[in-house]
């Protein structure tokens, strides 16, 4: 599920801001389809089982902010994570605190 969550967050972060809720939902659909193809699963199962719902909710609320080009926070406990994984982990921690 971690890989699905990271891939979905990265795919959604690449979209420009949607001008309507319908456009945002299409972007979510497209991102989930791309992640599902990469994972070798169906979009329905991918969204339901492999992508953390906070990533989708944040995107739809225009709150998915990943600082992929910024500095990487070294305060995370898991040094085994790639920089993009650390960004998604930080994002999820912020969302859960809110």
What's the confidence (pLDDT) of residue 78? 54
| H-type alpha helices, the chain | 2-14, 21-39, 43-45, 53-60, 83-97
The kind and range of the H/E element at 23 are: helix 21-39
Largest CA distance in the chain: 39
Between CA 55 and CA 3 the distance in angstroms is 13
What's the confidence (pLDDT) of residue 57? 94
Which pTM does this prediction carry? 0.72
pLDDT digit string (tens) for the chain, length 98 residues: 899 999 999 999 989 889 999 999 999 999 999 999 999 999 999 999 999 999 999 999 998 877 543 433 444 455 678 888 888 888 888 888 87
What's the confidence (pLDDT) of residue 8? 95
């Amino acid at each position: 599920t971690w890989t699905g969550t990271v891939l979905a967050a990265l795919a959604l972060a690449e979209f420009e801001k949607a001008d309507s809720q319908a456009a945002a939902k299409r972007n979510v659909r497209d991102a989930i389809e791309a992640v599902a193809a990469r994972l070798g699963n169906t979009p329905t199962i991918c969204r339901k089982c492999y992508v953390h719902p906070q990533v989708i909710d944040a995107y739809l609320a225009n709150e998915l902010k990943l600082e992929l080009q910024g500095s990487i926070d070294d305060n995370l406990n898991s040094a085994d994570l790639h920089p993009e994984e650390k960004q998604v982990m930080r994002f999820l921690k912020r969302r859960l605190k809110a």
